[in-house]
Amino acid sequence: MLTELLPNASFRERITAANKLRSVLATVVVRDPRKWGTYNIQPLTFVHSPDSPLYADLADAIPANLDYIISAQQNDGGWGLTWSWENVDPMAWKAAKKEWRGVVTLEDLERLDSFRRIAH
């Protein structure tokens, strides 16, 4: 439940925050799979497992987003990035790209695992 996100707030504050968050998510989360290859906010950006407080609000888009993640896996087992700042500092980007690619790969594997999309 979304109200779990603010355990120390009053009930009224939690409801207000949850409603605001739902409104923001409805606006910023990109639900069109054709756009997920670019830098944007996908449904699984905020939902890391079926137990996530935001799962219910994005449940309709989760299966397609999981399918997209699986389809975007590269031959070496990792995932590419949807952003770059190579034009700002090419040398720094070269090192940062490797590190960020590792972060993105770990996050995608954790999400796939939490939704039981990885065979064990």
Lowest mean pLDDT: which of 3-17, 40-54, 69-83? 3-17
37: exposed, middle or buried (Cβ count in 10 Å: 0-12, 13-18, 19+): exposed
Q: Exposed/middle/buried for 75, CB within 10 Å: 0-12, 13-18, 19+?
A: exposed
Q: How would residue 5 be classed by pLDDT, with cut points 50, 70 and 90?
A: low
Where in the chain are the domains? 31-114
The residues, ordered by sequence, that sit 6+ positions from 11 with a Cβ below 8 Å of its Cβ are 3
- Three-state SS at 41: strand
> Residue 39, SS3?
coil
Q: Would you state the pLDDT for residue 21?
A: 87
Q: What share of residues in the chain are helix, strand, coil (percent, to 5)?
A: 60, 0, 40
What pTM, to 2 d.p., does this model score? 0.85
